[in-house]
Structure 1
């Protein structure tokens, strides 16, 4: 496993086909400072574009996953400044939300505001039993951002999302798991091992078909059934034409474990 300097605001670790992106400003509970935003913008698109990376893990250092926006960056409230900051964030958020690669978020502690938004970018969200979740935005008089009003209702349903986003109440890890916000829980000391095991299994899988399945799930909210089934048929054409599908069929017939290459 390789690791960047521990002084960086965002660390990138590589373990085979899995890349781990770590928010690394624990003193501020990994709030979205300029350094963290710049670090994500500089590293994440490259990881998503790298053919050698077949799964990505996102987590934080210390006692928080991400405590939300950095209050120090909110003094400039001008229309153009806010719009510019949001547009810059979308440079990495849109590729993350639309990535074909599996994304695993390991929520090691507090995930509030933009931190909750970041957690919801995960295809599979694992959380420490000590994690907690909060919208944060109502406490400041801000609108939910980083796609949270898009991703949260899809994860937990409209009523539960409204309860979280409008009342600003804190949600425990156990409740988050029960409502479907979190896929799995782990003891704090076992979280990263569980996240890496999940990511390694995904990275070893048929990532062509996994990416197609992710696209199908996204389009399921947008298309009428006829349009969706047309898209589904085209996705299956692509999947059947992949080397991974050929390997999967051969492995099934040979009664052996498939060796998928992601192509």
Structure 2
């Protein structure tokens, strides 16, 4: 029997949700998307849980969407019932405080996910990137909105358009990360701050998060996601994306030289 892709563990009123695909650097396939959605939904409705913490097992937070699954989708072998939208909907509307403990590399959704979290702690051993240009794609997970609101327009533009790696200190300076920790202190610090928040009454925490978000923020993030899906649909399976995915699977550099512009 295979190991569960999502593991949950309670520390008092704090629920730790761990992405558990270390052999695949915690890349997110349909099973992981569904597992995160279900874990967040369960934490939201559990009156014994005040705060959730999400992290990854092993040396990655998440290496992003499973590219083999993406390639199967392009070839028609993967089926059409994708769990990403349902996960994102649950994430954008999650009512309780959500703390991220970024233990290792985060790529694509492994970075864009973080802008939906209330507090982000990041290990000095971790690094993040959004390689959408290198994949021939556009931003996802509402990041065209959430990155701009959290980090400012210019930081968001540089992160999303450059696709380069960013260190924990750089992410702290841009405002994506709240605290940088030594690797051995990451989870203790994340659980500690979550426990501090969880000492307060849940209705107060929920009301405060709702006020911070504002009445329209979940709707704005979801509207950005819908715009991104439209752009994504145009680019997914287009020549640049096919070349990028094939190059990744074949472990070679992509060649975009023959792909036309607008």
2:97 to 93, 102, 106: 102
1:77 to 74, 78, 102: 74
The question of whether the paired residues in 2 share the 8 Å contact of 1:112 and 1:133 is answered with yes
Unpaired runs of at least 5, structure 2: 218-262
The question of whether the paired residues in 2 share the 8 Å contact of 1:136 and 1:168 is answered with yes
TM-score under structure 1 length normalisation? 0.76
1:158 to 146, 153, 156: 153
The question of whether the paired residues in 2 share the 8 Å contact of 1:107 and 1:125 is answered with yes
The question of whether the paired residues in 2 share the 8 Å contact of 1:18 and 1:199 is answered with yes
Q: Cα deviation per residue 1:131-177 (whole Å; 9 max; x = unaligned)?
A: 11101222111221122222211110011000000111111111111
Q: Rg larger in 1 or in 2?
A: 1
- Report the alpha carbon displacement of residue 203 of structure 1 after superposing the two structures with TM: 0.8
1:45 to 15, 31, 41: 41
Which consecutive segments of 4 or more residues in structure 1 shift more than 4 A? 81-84
Q: Does 1:21 align with 2:17?
A: yes
Q: Cα deviation per residue 1:201-241 (whole Å; 9 max; x = unaligned)?
A: 1111233233222222222776xxxxxxxxxxxxxxxxxxx
How many residue pairs get matched?
A: 215
- Report the alpha carbon displacement of residue 188 of structure 1 after superposing the two structures with TM: 0.2
Aligned twin of 1:256? none
Aligned twin of 2:107? 112
Unpaired runs of at least 5, structure 1: 223-263
The question of whether the paired residues in 2 share the 8 Å contact of 1:45 and 1:92 is answered with no
- Report the alpha carbon displacement of residue 78 of structure 1 after superposing the two structures with TM: 8.1
Aligned twin of 1:191? 186
Aligned twin of 1:228? none
The question of whether the paired residues in 1 share the 8 Å contact of 2:34 and 2:87 is answered with no
Q: Does 1:36 align with 2:32?
A: yes
Q: Cα deviation per residue 1:38-96 (whole Å; 9 max; x = unaligned)?
A: 322332211122121100000001111001010011121389x89852xx322232222
Q: Does 1:57 align with 2:53?
A: yes
* Cα gap change, 1:6 to 1:21, in 2 (>3 Å): farther
